[in-house]
Amino acid sequence: MANKTVPELEILAAKMCASYLDALPVTGAALSALGGSLQETTLWATDALAGRLDELQFDLGEGPRWAAIRSRSPVLIPGVHDASHERWPVFGKALLETNAQALFVFPLVVGAVDVGVVELYRALEGPLSPADLVTARGLSDRAAWSLLGSMLALGSVDGSGESDSVLSRREIHQATGMVLAQTGGSAADALLMLRAHAFANGLTLRETCDAVLARTLDFGSDRG
């Protein structure tokens, strides 16, 4: 049952992303789930750039996806090259080097539950129209309910399932726990140390976590 969890959710996420592309003037989409045993996992990206934009923000710990999750409100960037990106300067610099000209992020929320987030980009700049925004919010409401229902049905919310998907960030959370044990700090501090090491050494966060899990990288040796 556990091995079926993420593939089934990936199929659902793929359909959700396709619905955004069909209904809105956007080029690509990525959808992530939050919470439960999935922790924070990318379920689907429609293309390489959509996946890259999501991965960059997770690795750097900054970007509009995090602002949308924290505020539980959409973050709309109709012109990538016109925006200041002062809230996410490092991600902003990386974003300007891609072909994305506009970025729209919608949190997936059901009541008090943060279910996930969907990130939409397009190759042409310009805002979504008022009608497009209504459509996007409606799609996000339906996606949140569908995703939450599937996660509950598959046992992902209560921690009964695990994923072997290449997009799963289970290893990142395991490595965070190991760094927490090594340093005696908080989980937030441990993840910050992982991100800082990855950024400083030109690695992805996943590569850094792999080194921690392989015990070739020990943050405890830096203490004192």
**Residue extents of the structural domains in the chain:** 2-154, 170-215
Residues 6+ apart with CB under 8 A from 115: 33, 34, 35, 108, 109, 144, 147, 148, 151
CATH topology of domain 170-215: Arc Repressor Mutant, subunit A (1.10.10)
Q: Do domains 2-154 and 170-215 have the same CATH topology?
A: no
**For position 8, what pLDDT does the model report?**
85
Q: Helix 48-60 vs helix 187-200: angle between axes, to the nearest 10 degrees?
A: 120
**CA-CA distances (angstroms) from residue 11 to 15, 69, 165?**
6, 23, 13
Residues 6+ apart with CB under 8 A from 213: 171, 174, 175, 178
CATH number of 2-154: 3.30.450.40
DSSP summary character for residue 146: H
Q: Which amino acid is at 16?
A: M
**For position 206, what pLDDT does the model report?**
85
Q: Helix 187-200 vs helix 205-213: angle between axes, to the nearest 10 degrees?
A: 110
DSSP summary character for residue 39: S
108 beta partners: 116
Q: Residue 78, Cβ neighbours under 10 Å: how many?
A: 15
Q: Report the candidate in 122, 127, 27, 114 with the shortest Cα–Cα distance to residue 69.
A: 114
Query: Digits of tens for pLDDT over the chain (224 positions)?
Result: 233 446 888 999 999 999 999 999 999 999 998 865 445 788 999 999 999 999 999 989 999 999 999 999 999 999 999 999 999 999 999 999 999 999 999 999 987 778 899 999 999 999 999 999 999 999 999 999 999 888 777 754 444 444 444 445 778 888 999 999 998 888 878 888 888 788 777 888 888 899 999 999 998 865 54
119 beta partners: 30, 105
